Amino acid sequence: MGHAAVARIQYAASIMCADLANLEGSIAEVEAAGADVLHVDVLDGRFSPSMPLGLETIRRMRDVTSLPFDAHVMTTDNELFVTEMLELGAESVTFHVETTLHVDRLIGLARSAGAKVGVALNPATSLSVLEFVLPLVDSVCLMLINPGYATNASEQQVPYAAEKVSRLRGLVDEQGLATAVQVDGRVSFATVPGLVRAGATSLVLGSTSLFSKDGSLAENRARLDACVAAGGGTR
């Protein structure tokens, strides 16, 4: 079921999908391609079997771009990494509920730092965990693949991806909230129209879309715009 109003879709460029040996150049290309934010995955190698960016690398990235940081913390010690992201000035911090003992506390930490805050849910995590915090967050990030397994080319979006997005959109709309519905994981040219139609408003773009090897970033951006329009969204 789609949503009534035409939504402006945010492009969050997943920087771990860029050329990690040439980050400064890659970030400049992302800026030129018109991304809204840099989606910065913070992984500890324990929450998932991936650890593409270290804290010092992320700090250095702050020196070479004015794009807002959308930090996605996927760790077992979320308070440590959320605090680190807030200290380096990330404009938005999202953390996973599955590894957070005190979700409300971390929301408060981000708020007191003047940052936007989001919670992220693994594919199999129920939306019911949002019952009391949905009005307190700026965004909810729905993982549509299991975090950290994106390097496995055969990893597909979970079959209930669009259904989960649609249900979250329903919760947001029922409560009259402006919460962004972010989707992450195999957000591809093929899946974008359906995800936008289901109610996604923020797309985390990686190797199957903005960073696709089939085109330049500028070409991929133009193709994305067409996919968003096909889903009833706007840029």
Query: In 10 A of CB 37, how many CB atoms?
Result: 20
Nearest to 84 by CA among 38, 134, 43, 133: 43
Residue 97: exposure state from Cβ atoms within 10 A (0-12, 13-18, ≥19): middle
Mind telling me the catalytic residues? Answer: 41, 184
Question: Phi/psi at 11 (nearest 5 deg)?
Answer: -105, 115
Residue 233: exposure state from Cβ atoms within 10 A (0-12, 13-18, ≥19): buried
Two tokens, residue 207: 């190797």
